[in-house]
């Protein structure tokens, strides 16, 4: 009996202590991260310019609030006396508090990166054995978001390692979005919701539309390759805990259509929207894609339900996302040539067992709005007929 009680107490304290900060990611987090464009080339001046650009380009106005520094912000060694993490003195001569104060002064929030292992993926000091100390460091320098990677973790249990860091962040007391970057190998969607706010579902994205890119010991994934593995995970996402199919490559070399398709699908997936392009010099087209508020509203819908893949035929996919008071429908053309679309609403009953909602246009007529042309395009009384350009989408909002 005594043993049973002590096991029960251990069990309860394990879970109650591990509770993450609640209420800070009720919709998918939005922001900017340095990795996809800059990798090691980050420094104080660039970060300050990026913070300025987030405001002047109206990214902040569109909802992108977190400015996150990825790998390579640190010096090669911890402080020899205190054991604290040290920002690279050449890149960040005035330290991280200075940078985060500047970021905060612009109305933005500040994020940093580290890793559960002994070293980060780029070989900088990892957090293993320093979880509570590092969590205090993040709180002290004003961090609002931590991306926590999974390199150099031999012998570590993923769930326990992320549990420890989650507890350490909670103990440090500053509400911090905890972004698990474990790449999906240990199925974090099955255990990470009590620990963090988002978890990577795959390996690293690259600015390619289809296929994979071989880097020797690992391969980076295209936008469509990642998309193909997300549909089965939809039941694990929801307000406060999101599947993360990796950061955006919009503006990093894809065509305009591909940028639009990538962004639309990440919005349909209720994915975190973390831009990864140089905001200081983005084209008008990239900017208008990243800041399309009507498309972002689909991503940020408070119901927090990830889209379902309704049909797929001849590389033309139809995705449907239930929204709080509406539906979003996205036709995606993966072919290298344009394809006609003909969608008879009344002949397509969409039943979503996850959200327990049914789209039945025989019972309710919806107005249709094309979210990219920003035009009202009739109602569900009439079969929708159009052409989807190659590697592009038509994204519709169905409202009452």
Q: Which residues are annotated as catalytic?
A: 149, 204
> Does 204 engage in binding with ligand GLA (CB under 6 A)?
yes
Residues within window 6-35 making contact with ligand GLA, judged by CB under 6 A:
35
Interface with ligand GLA, residue 122, by CB under 6 A? yes
Give the range of 80-88, 114-122, 293-301, 344-352 binding ligand GLA by CB under 6 A. Answer: 114-122
Task: List the Cα angle 184/110/201 in 5-degree steps.
Answer: 10
**Residue 127 or residue 291: which is nearer to ligand GLA going by CB?**
127
Asked if 144 and 175 count as a contact pair (C-beta separation under 8 A), the reply is yes
DSSP string, 155-218: T--HHHHHHHHHHHHHHH-S--EEEE--TTTT-GGGT-TTT-SEEE-SS-B-S-SSSEEE-SS-
CB of 247 to ligand GLA, least distance (A): 7
Name the segment binding ligand GLA (CB under 6 A); options: 120-128, 187-195, 266-274, 298-306. Answer: 120-128
The separation between the first and the last C-alpha atoms of the chain, rounded to the nearest angstrom, is 59
Is residue 149 close enough to count as binding ligand GLA by CB under 6 A? yes
For residue 312, CA distances in Å to 196, 228, 316, 320, 331 come to: 33, 11, 6, 12, 10
Strands 316-322 and 326-333, by their bridges, are antiparallel
CB of 126 to ligand GLA, least distance (A): 11
β-pair type (367-370, 273-275): unpaired
Q: Tell me how many degrees the CA angle 200-395-298 measures, rounded to the nearest 5.
A: 55
Please, what is the minimum distance in Å from the beta carbon of residue 122 to ligand GLA?
4
Nearer to ligand GLA, 21 or 35 (CB): 35
Residues 224-243 that bind ligand GLA (CB under 6 A): none
Neighbour count for residue 5 (Cβ, 10 Å): 9
Half-sphere exposure for 170 (CA within 13 Å, toward CB): 18
Q: How many CB atoms lie within 10 A of CB 161?
A: 22
Least distance CB 205 / ligand GLA (angstroms)? 8
> What tokens were used for 183?
């790449």
Q: How many residues bind ligand GLA (CB under 6 A)?
A: 9
- Whose Cβ is closer to ligand GLA: residue 37's or residue 120's? 120
- State in angstroms the smallest separation of the CB of 71 from ligand GLA: 3
Q: How far apart are CA 389 and CA 303, in angstroms?
A: 30
Q: What are phi and psi of 80, to 5 degrees?
A: -65, -25
Q: Judged by CB, which is closer to ligand GLA: 143, or 333?
A: 143
Judged by CB, which is closer to ligand GLA: 35, or 92?
A: 35
| Residue number, 39 or 376, with CB nearest to ligand GLA | 39
244 binds ligand GLA, rule: CB under 6 A:
no
Give me the least distance between CB of 33 and ligand GLA, in Å please: 8
In the complex, the smallest distance separating the C-beta of residue 338 from ligand GLA, rounded to whole angstroms, is 34
From 119-127, 231-239, 293-301, 373-381, span contacting ligand GLA (CB under 6 A): 119-127
The yes or no reply on residue 278 touching ligand GLA (CB under 6 A) is no
| Bridge partners (DSSP) listed for residue 275 | 32
Note whether 70 binds ligand GLA by CB under 6 A: yes
CB closer to ligand GLA, 44 vs 70: 70
Contact positions vs ligand GLA (CB under 6 A): 35, 70-71, 120-122, 149, 181, 204
């Amino acid at each position: 009996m005594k043993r049973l009680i002590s096991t029960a107490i251990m069990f309860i304290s394990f879970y109650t202590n591990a509770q993450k900060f609640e209420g800070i990611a009720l919709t998918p987090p939005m922001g900017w991260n340095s990795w996809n464009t800059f990798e090691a080339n980050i420094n104080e001046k660039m970060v300050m310019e990026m913070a300025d650009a987030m405001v002047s380009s109206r990214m902040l106005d569109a909802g992108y609030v977190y400015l996150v520094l990825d790998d390579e912000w640190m010096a090669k060694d911890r402080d020899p006396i205190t054991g604290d993490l040290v920002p690279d003195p050449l890149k960040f001569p005035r330290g991280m508090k200075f940078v985060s104060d500047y970021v905060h002064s612009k109305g933005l929030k500040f994020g940093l990166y580290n890793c559960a292992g002994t070293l980060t993926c780029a070989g900088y000091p990892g957090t293993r054995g320093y979880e509570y100390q590092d969590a205090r460091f993040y709180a002290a320098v004003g961090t609002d978001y931590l991306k926590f990677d999974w390199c150099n973790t031999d012998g570590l249990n993923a769930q326990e390692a992320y549990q420890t860091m989650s507890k350490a962040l909670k103990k440090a007391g500053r509400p911090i979005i905890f972004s698990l970057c474990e790449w999906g190998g240990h199925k974090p969607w099955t255990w990470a919701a009590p620990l963090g706010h988002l978890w990577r579902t795959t390996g690293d994205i690259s600015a390619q539309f289809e296929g994979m890119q071989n880097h020797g010991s690992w391969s980076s994934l295209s936008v469509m390759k990642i998309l193909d593995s997300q549909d089965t995970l939809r039941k694990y996402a929801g307000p406060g805990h999101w599947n993360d199919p990796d950061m955006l490559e919009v503006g990093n070399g894809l065509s305009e259509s591909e940028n639009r398709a990538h962004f639309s699908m990440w919005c349909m997936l209720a994915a975190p929207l973390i831009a990864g392009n140089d905001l200081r010099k983005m084209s008008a087209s990239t900017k208008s894609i990243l800041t399309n508020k009507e498309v972002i509203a689909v991503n940020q819908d408070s119901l927090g339900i990830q889209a379902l893949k309704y049909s797929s035929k001849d590389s033309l996919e139809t995705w449907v996302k239930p929204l709080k008071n509406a539906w979003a429908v996205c036709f995606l053309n993966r072919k290298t040539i344009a394809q006609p679309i003909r969608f008879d609403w009344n002949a397509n009953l969409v039943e979503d067992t996850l959200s327990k909602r049914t789209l039945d246009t025989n019972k309710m007529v919806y107005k249709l709005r094309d979210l990219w042309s920003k035009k009202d395009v009739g109602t569900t009384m009439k079969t929708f007929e159009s052409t989807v350009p190659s590697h592009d989408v038509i994204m519709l909002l169905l409202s009452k």
